[in-house]
Structure 1
Amino acid sequence: MTMLATLFAIATALLVGAASPGPSFLLVSHLAMTRSRKAGLMAALGMGTGGLVFALLALAGLATLITQFGWLHRLLQIAGGLYLVSMAWRLWRGASQPIEQQMQGEMPASLARTYGTACLTQISNPKTAIVYASIFAALLPFRPDQMLVLLLPGVVFLVEAGWYALVALVFSAPMPRRAYLAARKPLDRLAALVLAGLGLRLVIEGVRT
């Protein structure tokens, strides 16, 4: 398989994973609808950075350590699950606040927090690191070319950031935004329950394994 074919295969596999609904999708779409397109795009950059972290970990072989050391895997699962539960609690409380209050704070510091929150959300699930390691192990040649190794993190960033930028653009459009505002409170509560469920599942799996 040529270098371009390998990069395309890995990018396709990662895109399928990124498009699966989860905490990252919920966060980006929610920010795009409640705050602004700019906030959604900043979150997309955070998601891309989180994907870049996973790519570097996988290339360095550190993701393998997660599978070899059970206690580390459990610790990361519990920490990531608790983070998602705390995010769900903030979303549940914010559902009853006026929308104007949630849309305040478009200063750079606020956008920086948006970026940081998105990045933490992306890396809160250690299983994603294992997925990256599995994809790389399956699709990378035994001795990959140096140029391939150098290009791969950038491709990963573009796939993750590009997908979530598309999500931000779609959900910040007038029609989805109006539909969300018309049923904001129940939708926010539902999103909070989904996040809490995902977080609790991570915690329970971390405790049981």
Structure 2
Amino acid sequence: MDFNTLALYAISSLLLAATPGPTMLLALSNGMSGGLRVAVFGILGASLGSSLLITGVAFGLGSLLASSESLFNALRWFGVAYLCWLGWKLWRTQPVPLSQQLACTSGTGLPPRTAFLRSLGVALSNPKAILFFAAFLPQFIQPSMPQGVQFLWLGVIFVVIDTLVMVAYAQAGARLVNILSLSALRLLNRACAAGMWLLAGTLAVLREH
């Protein structure tokens, strides 16, 4: 795989990762509700989810999902329900004042384990993401070279870029705690919830083809 191909892939991955999606909205919300420390656990969950999806695509999961309408729809509706539930949770989430975050008060804010599992669930419950990886990654695969190694490198590059973008979103959320009032933070959190519901609606009306 030559440098030009990798550079084009990295730029494409950065543009795709920077587009607001459910994991990015979660990173922003986690940064506001629990600070960067809690948001990191959510980022780890989302990165693990992306890694598992890319691994699955490398082993033919994308082809299986594309050929089975019932499997695709089952996963799609699970994703819709999960995003709706997550939007409701975000809507009810109260922003944590900076002083409480610094004090690390027991029971305050979002537990790291919850942040991890939510982001992992979002990453794994979107069938469009699987089909996207199945369509996107092969465009940069060179048939004359071992495909397994190429999938590994492409996966690592995407996950690293995606992780860095999520860190930026989470850092932005953590900084907003210093700038905005609690009412403004609550409004922004609810905007993230509305974004989740919008993504759920989009996923609900989309079809496999």
Confirm or deny a common fold (TM above 0.5): yes
**Structure 1 counterpart of 2:96, from 86, 94, 99:** 99
Q: Distance in 1 between matches of 2:17 and 2:180?
A: 24
Change (3 A) 1:12 1:98: closer
Q: Is the CA contact 1:84–1:198 (under 8 Å) kept in the aligned structure 2?
A: yes
- Normalising by structure 1, report the TM-score: 0.82
Q: CA RMSD in A?
A: 2.8
Map 1:173-188 → 2, pairs under 5 A: 173=175, 175=176, 177-179=178-180, 181-188=182-189
Match of 1:110 in 2: 111
Shift of 1:69: 0.9
Q: Is the CA contact 1:82–1:203 (under 8 Å) kept in the aligned structure 2?
A: no
- Normalising by structure 2, report the TM-score: 0.82
Change (3 A) 1:137 1:151: closer
Shift of 1:30: 0.7
Please list every run of 5 or more consecutive structure 1 residues that lacks an aligned counterpart in the other structure.
Answer: none
Change (3 A) 1:105 1:195: farther
Q: Distance in 2 between matches of 1:198 and 1:161?
A: 20
Match of 2:47 in 1: 48
Q: Is the CA contact 1:34–1:99 (under 8 Å) kept in the aligned structure 2?
A: yes
Q: Distance in 1 between matches of 2:43 and 2:156?
A: 15
Q: Distance in 2 between matches of 1:78 and 1:182?
A: 33
Q: Distance in 2 between matches of 1:86 and 1:13?
A: 31
Match of 1:22 in 2: 21
Query: Aligned residues: percent identity?
Result: 23
Aligned residue for 2:47, secondary structure, equals helix
**Superimposed CA distance per residue, residues 155-176 of structure 1 (whole angstroms, 9 cap, x where no aligned partner):** 2321221221122223212x56
**Superimposed CA distance per residue, residues 116-168 of structure 1 (whole angstroms, 9 cap, x where no aligned partner):** 21111122211111111111121111243354344333223212212211222
Match of 1:13 in 2: 12
Q: Distance in 1 between matches of 2:23 and 2:136?
A: 20
Please list every run of 5 or more consecutive structure 2 residues that lacks an aligned counterpart in the other structure.
Answer: none
Q: Distance in 1 between matches of 2:5 and 2:129?
A: 20
Q: Distance in 2 between matches of 1:83 and 1:7?
A: 34
